[in-house]
Structure 1
């Protein structure tokens, strides 16, 4: 919502295919990602200039191995794997 720093909701649904319960995945997401607009801008380096966004006009911007696409960098997560 406009004017609210945190998202009103974050939703996870693996449609029953996840090896980890959806509630646990949601907890991991909330603990590891800052969804405030300013922090997303900083974490993804979105204000950096140059023509990097022009590259997204052709062939899309997901799943490409390009160092300019900061949103494709895998982030190590803080997570305690449950013991079997």
Structure 2
């Protein structure tokens, strides 16, 4: 899937959020519904993304080797490594209908 966010300088929230699933969506949810789930479940402001992924903690030497993705997350001396590997549980949306997702968005 492709997830695209666009921002403007001085505006915290994204101006647009676009999801392209290339036809791989499953169940009753369309690509538009999946876009709405992202809007509900994730704070897409740049500062919030940096905080949730622990991007402002100095850890570059350890993460520079052996790839950034597919590694086991861990915490050492209070610093979180590979926090982006801790997937958020979105399973509650799997059983929802399009109308239920739209209602939760409001």
TM over 0.5: yes
Higher-helix-fraction structure: 2
Please list every run of at least 4 consecutive aligned residues from structure 1 whose deviation after the TM superposition is greater than 3 angstroms.
none
Distance 1:80 1:66, change over 3 A: closer
Q: Normalising to structure 2: TM-score of the pair? A: 0.65
Residues 19-76 of structure 1 show CA distances to partners (whole Å, capped at 9, x for unaligned) of: 1310111111110111111211221222223xx3222222221111132111110112
Q: Normalising to structure 1: TM-score of the pair? A: 0.79
CA shift, 1:80, in A, is 6.5
Q: Alignment length, in residue pairs? A: 81
Higher-strand-fraction structure: 2
Structure 2 unaligned regions, length at least 5 = 1-7, 75-80, 98-106
Partners in 1 of 2:73 and 2:85 — Cα distance?
8
